[in-house]
Structure 1
Amino acid sequence: MAHADQTAQGGHGRHQHGGHGDGLREMLDLDAEVGAAELARFTARIAALAGDHPVRDVVDLGAGTGSGTFALLRQFSEAIVTAVDTSGEMLGHLSGSARQHGFDSRVRPIRADLDERWPATGPADLVWAASSMHHLADPDRVLRDIHATLRPAGRLAMIEMESMPHFLPDDIGIGAPGLEDRCDVLMAEARAEHLPHMGSDWTARLTMTGFKIQESGDLVVDLPAPVPDAAARYAYATLQRLRAGLADRLTAEDRDTLDVLLADDGPHALRNRADLTVRSTRSFWIATPA
């Protein structure tokens, strides 16, 4: 799927990936694996809307570990993807994955900070922005840059996630059920402080900056128990980062609950639970220059 929001680890601003290490890379890769079918359906819909217009030049903004890049390369066989990220570490990981998948000749990594300037991407048939726009200091300026970069028949595909995925039964919590709901509230507070554009009216922003929205809706991942191993590891990686990122906001009881869930072993540890699910919703927009 698209990039999992990194604010669970306290990351904020300008879509920075640097300094988060293996934990973030693992979470992003697992997020992509768990949501691969939904991502493939979404890129197929973009291809259907493109019709006879070729998609050869693609820009992936905030490319991370490359989940969007690789999905687009699989969907558009003639495409070359310019993968843009602020983190040389992430781009190095993406480039290594591209070699493993045989895509190295079709990926052009560019290290750039979109808050400073638009990178030298060249004209594009498709711009992909997954969980990246809300990190920007001035998303309207970047949307105008995207508009100027797209060819007349080009498209912007944009994905935003409003809350972290849920994995646990609703009755989880020491003393009070609803652990993940309480964490959602704390995450919203943290994002309000550091990510003022999270939850923006992106439809209005897109229209204001010269786009015509072709389609919008939700991408939903809903895996029932028992989940596959990758989904269980995704739950562990996500909740581990959430525990670290919200450490000073959580109640003692909720910290204790998360510690039990994240323990290496025990009857209530995530790795031993058969009742894990994956419930994740992201909003999408497909838009063209008006």
Structure 2
Amino acid sequence: MTPQEDQQHTSCVNHEHAAHGHSGHGSHDHGQGLAEMLDLDALLLGSYLEEAAEWAAGIAQTAPRTILDVGAGTGAGTVALARRFRNASVTALDRSAAMLAATRAAAAAEGFTDRVHTLEADLDGPWPESATADLMWASSSLHEVSSPERTIGGMYAALNPGGLLVVLEMDSLPSFLPADGTDSHTAELGLESRLHAAMAHQGWNAHPDWRGELERAGFHRVEQRSFNTMGRPLPEPTARYAANFLGRIRTALAGDGAPATHDTSPGAALRAQDLAALDALLSGTGPSSLLHRTDLQVRGRRTAWAAFKA
């Protein structure tokens, strides 16, 4: 994994968490920093997982007995699925042994040890023969694999007849700063929008509308739904999440040098004052420091595609 690949993890989030959820099958960083970010994403924005799981339960053709969480990360989605589908066995798939260990711990804390299993596999290789299920779930993970078309084909072949595949992605990177700014933080007005544009220019969180890929793989019907996400009012975890995420953006921007004012393409460069404002946010002192703020709130939006196999 190259340093550039590490910088380009988003959620996921989650590499959803992302975010946006979120890891273990392509270019994800599996260090402690990513694990913390995934856990904070689940703590603050995890309500969308329950909403999406409830949506899947309502549209599934039959109640699933076997579920596969593809790119499980630290297990937030795995636990949400086990909680909603009480009669199902849930397998978390990830290429990282450390992430799978975190998933097992999260499942044990909920009392799901007997129903939650793990499978270590890299989806940049062949689809694992044992990875079959009635319901497959891929949250902020499909865009990370080297060949999404091949992976979707593997999912379709391994999904049981009448099964359901749910793919979730972040519509945009998470925001943390007050939307309208304040008199004491005027340098932050519009800052996150410009940061997001700069990251889009670098290819962060790049994913298509998956409908076409899913239909070409053979799924006979695809439904789509959006989930607005608003973080829980927990100032200290929110500040840590913001510092973690914006710190990754700052690292990615470090190699850009001075803003290239001659390049007018969208997101090609940031103003010097934007970088200064970002540095002030990431500093440990001063009125703008994220670690001393109580006016932060995580905001975002996810889209889910539900694909049905005949």
**TM-score where L is the length of structure 2:** 0.80
Instruction: For residue 264 of structure 1, report the CA deviation from its aligned partner.
Output: 2.5
Aligned to 1:265, which of 273, 276, 285? 285
Moved more, 23-32 or 95-104: 95-104
Matched, 1:277 2:277: no
Taking the aligned partners of 2:186 and 2:128, their CA distance within structure 1 comes to 49
Match of 1:253? 273
Match of 2:229? 221
Taking the aligned partners of 1:236 and 1:121, their CA distance within structure 2 comes to 39
Aligned to 2:108, which of 99, 102, 108? 99
Match of 1:4? 14
Taking the aligned partners of 1:242 and 1:273, their CA distance within structure 2 comes to 19
Q: Given residue 226 of structure 2, which amino acid in structure 1 is its aligned partner?
A: D
Aligned to 1:142, which of 146, 151, 171? 151
Matched, 1:163 2:183: no
Instruction: For residue 259 of structure 1, report the CA deviation from its aligned partner.
Output: 2.4
Match of 2:197? 185
| Contact 1:162–1:199 (CA under 8 A) maintained in structure 2 | no
Taking the aligned partners of 1:3 and 1:176, their CA distance within structure 2 comes to 23
Instruction: Deviation per CA, 1:172-201: give whole Å up to 9, x if none.
Output: 888684221121112112217xx8xx2313
Equivalent residue of 2:303, what SS? strand
Q: Given residue 98 of structure 1, which amino acid in structure 2 is its aligned partner?
A: A
Alignment of 1:46-57 (within 5 A): 46-50=56-60, 53-57=62-66
After superposition, the Cα gap between the structure-2 partners of 1:94 and 1:16, relative to the gap in structure 1 and judged at 3 Å, is farther
Taking the aligned partners of 2:131 and 2:255, their CA distance within structure 1 comes to 44
Q: What is the RMSD computed on CA atoms of the aligned residues?
A: 2.8
Q: Given residue 225 of structure 2, which amino acid in structure 1 is its aligned partner?
A: G
Taking the aligned partners of 2:131 and 2:210, their CA distance within structure 1 comes to 25
| Contact 1:60–1:129 (CA under 8 A) maintained in structure 2 | yes
Match of 1:232? 239
Instruction: For residue 61 of structure 1, report the CA deviation from its aligned partner.
Output: 0.8
| Contact 2:107–2:116 (CA under 8 A) maintained in structure 1 | yes
Taking the aligned partners of 1:227 and 1:7, their CA distance within structure 2 comes to 19
| Contact 1:227–1:276 (CA under 8 A) maintained in structure 2 | no
Equivalenced residue count is: 280
Matched, 1:289 2:309: yes
| Contact 1:217–1:283 (CA under 8 A) maintained in structure 2 | yes
Taking the aligned partners of 2:197 and 2:143, their CA distance within structure 1 comes to 18
Taking the aligned partners of 2:26 and 2:172, their CA distance within structure 1 comes to 17
Instruction: For residue 234 of structure 1, report the CA deviation from its aligned partner.
Output: 2.2
Equivalent residue of 1:140, what SS? helix
Q: Given residue 75 of structure 1, which amino acid in structure 2 is its aligned partner?
A: R
Aligned to 2:251, which of 244, 250, 265? 244
Taking the aligned partners of 1:60 and 1:95, their CA distance within structure 2 comes to 13
After superposition, the Cα gap between the structure-2 partners of 1:59 and 1:13, relative to the gap in structure 1 and judged at 3 Å, is closer
Matched, 1:89 2:109: no
Q: Given residue 26 of structure 2, which amino acid in structure 1 is its aligned partner?
A: H
| Contact 1:65–1:90 (CA under 8 A) maintained in structure 2 | yes
Instruction: For residue 168 of structure 1, report the CA deviation from its aligned partner.
Output: 1.2
| Contact 1:260–1:269 (CA under 8 A) maintained in structure 2 | yes
Instruction: For residue 2 of structure 1, report the CA deviation from its aligned partner.
Output: 6.3
Match of 1:59? 68
Match of 1:110? 119
Instruction: For residue 251 of structure 1, report the CA deviation from its aligned partner.
Output: 5.4
Residue segments in structure 1 that go unaligned for 5+ positions in a row: none
Q: Given residue 113 of structure 1, which amino acid in structure 2 is its aligned partner?
A: D
Taking the aligned partners of 2:281 and 2:147, their CA distance within structure 1 comes to 39
After superposition, the Cα gap between the structure-2 partners of 1:13 and 1:182, relative to the gap in structure 1 and judged at 3 Å, is farther
| Contact 2:127–2:154 (CA under 8 A) maintained in structure 1 | yes
Taking the aligned partners of 2:228 and 2:45, their CA distance within structure 1 comes to 9
| Contact 2:236–2:291 (CA under 8 A) maintained in structure 1 | no
Taking the aligned partners of 1:13 and 1:41, their CA distance within structure 2 comes to 24
| Contact 1:213–1:285 (CA under 8 A) maintained in structure 2 | no
Taking the aligned partners of 1:252 and 1:86, their CA distance within structure 2 comes to 39
